[in-house]
Structure 1
Amino acid sequence: MKIAVIGPIHPFVGGISHYNTELCKSLSTNHELVVISYKRRYPMFLYPGKNQIDKKCSRKSEISNVEYILDTVNPITWIKAVSRIKKENPNLLIFHWVTPFMTPMFVTVFFLLKKLTRIQILAICHNVLPHERTSLDVFLTKLVFRNVDYFIVHSRKDFTNLKKIVTRPTRRVLFPLYHMFKVSNISKNHAKEIINLTKNDKVILFFGYIREYKGLIYLIQAMPKVLIRIPTAKLLVVGEFWDNKERYLAEIENLNIKNAVILIDKYVHNDQVELYFSAADVVVLPYISATQSAVVQTAYYFNKPVITTRVGGLPDIVTDKKTGLIVEPKDSEMLAEAISEYLEQTIGKKMGRIIHRTKWKFSWERLVKTIEKLGENNESRDDYS
């Protein structure tokens, strides 16, 4: 099958770029690919981060036939992308749905492709609706989805949200593991030493962009109670702030836990991810809302258990008391209890072994097979497995 893919790819930063790169690698094994990526995803005044391009990562893209054409605010590039796809005449077009900001581009591209070709269009929905919503989001999403033939989601929450918008075939596939991170098998103690921690420190890792919906403030508020029971506990926050940083610093100061919190306010390049996960005893996602999170899959890649909240699709991928612990959102006391219980007991190694044994559930091959069935067999039924 000949497949066109629209999405960010190396050297763009972030989870969608990582996901698309891994997806294209897996698809290219048995299919001919045409990959249309971006020259620019967002104007800088709309982008809350510092950089959209990972200039320091030494790992080169392993995807051939990538064309960096699209600019989300330049309609001329949309027409160029349509022309390129039409010329290649693929059977299937895959795109990644994340934000209604891209509605004008996708509406134009898909309308023209449907008029000019017989291509089938498949949406991989990372968020059917955005975390921070506006009154227009459902309307804008419907505009894009009316020209989409098939959908893949990764969580029960997104499955439910999508079925309120469209009735077309939808498949749910567990979010796959990322494999692009450098692995040198650094020891936990050596990793701690590099980060200026001691080998006796119990490291609680919060990883990824800091946004309000990720609930970091509740993890900070849980730390005083954790420290009463685990005096050597350290909260390691690694990621670029997309929220008001001063708010978090003030809370740390007010709680008098400055010596127990390490803030690393930067985007972490793929070559450096292993360091922080190797140092961690547990990874914590205190999210207020979520569909899924690539941080869980990254933790699993490094065999690290996860403590998270009962929101969105997170309980789909974290099995309570087996691969991690699940608590209610916005409850710092319950979160503190779970973290303390985890660090006091010896359940981490057992959970790590379970994660190692069950990684096959999060394979890219399962996702590719689902895409093949939709693209080749034109399946008309939903699959909520």
Structure 2
Amino acid sequence: MTTTPRRIHVVSFSGTSGLADYAVSLCRELSKLAETTLVTADSYDPARYQVDFQHAHLFRRTRQYPLDILRYVFYTLRTRPDMVLWQSWLKFPLLEGFIVMLFRLFGIRMALTVHDLLPHHPKPWSRALCAWFYRRFDKLVAHSERTVQGLQEMGVRTKPLLVPHGIYDIFRLGELSREQALAQLPGVSPDDFVVLFFGHLDVRKGILEFLRTSAMLRDQPHIKFVVAGGRGSGLPAAAAAELDQYKDAPNVVMHDHVIPFEKVQHYFTAAHVVALPYLEGTTSGVIKLAMAFDKPFIATDIGDFGETLRDWSGLLTAGKAPAAELAEAIVQLRANYASYAAELSEKSAKYQWPHIARQHAQYLSLS
């Protein structure tokens, strides 16, 4: 017979990112099964998420990491949780692997959620470093069969929990009609078929392919391409310049800024389909937003996107000619939208957080 650990720390270095959204969603349900504390950054605001479980503000900005990581080590050794679940590496896997070893010496069991198998811009040594890092943990949580296979190929022998990334229902703040959502999106009419690109405007996420697709379909009546997300400091100058060329396009609505938490629901309520023409990645919270709002999605065949579509509705593209393939998929989905949209809400059972939290509790209790 196994028992759920009495005290669990779920750790997210960021208090406002997608990792934080994931950690909050998990903690909301896990706190019903065990004494759960979210260890995160000063930027975390429980009122934003409308949750009330325990939390600890220990991290600040990256430049303050050397001090904050020491604060975190002392806090963990002082509070002595039964289990710690990190949401990915915090900042520097090499250093943090030794911290994991230290905690285990003190009898603290360590687990890790593998959100990305490798960094988005891996170095020649990243694969070996990450493999070493993953082997430091007692338990691993993976979101896709591809990630499990990747861990095996890296020589990681720990048998992970394979559980999907849950839907982001925390962004559904209340009943909202499409008419109300469209009132917040000037330039989009009720007759428009809305294709949404949401999230950081990153080259690896295919933002340029999305905009090139809009140019290909400019003559198609009533198709609107809505872009919603901040540029960030990592967008290359050439990519930023190309992006700017589409700001005045008649079939593009560009909101290239960080979207406030409470406004997210407006974009997904207004959308007909969500586009993820990613060039690289392992998983995406944007898909789980699409699912939370019962929207089909179109994505390239990377990471866990194909596995998710087994349980959802939408289209997968090969990604060999991303813009052309996305354009073809949009036209196909629009022509048969009723069939894609039917019964979506009934397909999300395995992605609900209560079910996911129970799987975590059972797996993390094993010795």
**TM-score after normalising by structure 1:** 0.84
Are the counterparts in 2 of residues 78 and 105 from structure 1 also a CA contact under 8 Å? no
Deviation of the 1:189 alpha carbon: 3.2
Q: Which of 120, 138, 160 matches 2:149?
A: 160
- Partner residue of 2:160? 170
CA contact (8 A) 2:87 2:114 kept: yes
* 3-state SS of 1:151 partner: strand
8 Å contact 1:241–1:265 — kept in the other structure? yes
Please point out which of 224, 236, 249 is paired with 1:244. 236
Deviations 1:69-121 (A, max 9, x none): 2456544433433333233332211111157x332552242122122x22221
Q: Which residue of the other structure, out of 343, 350, 359, is the alignment partner of 1:354?
A: 343
The 1:366/1:315 distance shift into structure 2, 3 A limit, reads same
User: Where does structure 1 lack aligned partners over 5 or more consecutive residues?
Assistant: 40-52, 379-385
Q: Is the contact between residue 103 and residue 143 of structure 1 (CA under 8 Å) also seen in structure 2? A: no
Structure 2 SS opposite 1:95? strand
Give structure 1 regions of 4+ aligned residues with deviation exceeding 6 angstroms: none
Quote how far apart the aligned CAs of 1:342 are. 1.6
The 3-state SS of whatever aligns with 1:17 is helix
Residue 215 of structure 2 is matched in structure 1 by 224
Q: CA deviation at 1:281?
A: 1.5
Q: Distance in 1 between matches of 2:120 and 2:343?
A: 31
Counterpart of 1:30 in structure 2 is 33
CA distance in 1, matches of 2:247, 2:53: 52
The answer as to 2:276 corresponding to 1:317 is no
**Equivalent residue, structure 2, for 1:364:** 353
Deviation at 1:187, TM superposition (A): 2.3
Q: Cα offset for 1:260?
A: 1.3
Residue identity opposite 1:360 in structure 2: A
Distance 2:85 2:240 in 1: 39
Amino acid at match of 2:24: T
Q: 2:204 aligns with which of 213, 216, 220?
A: 213
Find 2:299's aligned residue among 308, 313, 324: 308
State whether residues 12 and 38 of structure 2, in contact with CA within 8 Å, keep that contact through their aligned partners in structure 1. no
- State the secondary structure of the residue aligned to 1:287: coil
Secondary structure at the counterpart of residue 38 of structure 2: strand
Would you say 1:2 and 2:6 are equivalent positions?
A: yes
Equivalent residue runs for 1:66-145 within 5 Å: 66-70=55-59, 74-97=65-88, 101-115=91-105, 117-145=106-134
Question: Aligned in 2, Cα 1:58/1:201: closer, same or farther, shift over 3 Å?
Answer: farther
1:140 Cα shift? Answer: 2.8
Q: Alpha carbons of 1:193 and 1:246: their partners in 2 closer, same or farther (altered >3 Å)?
A: farther
TM-score if structure 2 supplies the norm length? 0.88
Which residue in the other structure is 1:382 paired with? none
Size of the aligned set, in residue pairs, is: 356
Root mean square deviation of aligned Cα: 2.6
What amino acid does structure 2 have at the position aligned with 1:177?
I
CA separation of 1:54/1:113 partners in 2, compared to 1, >3 Å: closer, same or farther? closer
Quick one: percent identity of the two aligned structures?
A: 21
Q: Is the 8 A contact 1:97 1:127 kept in 2?
A: yes
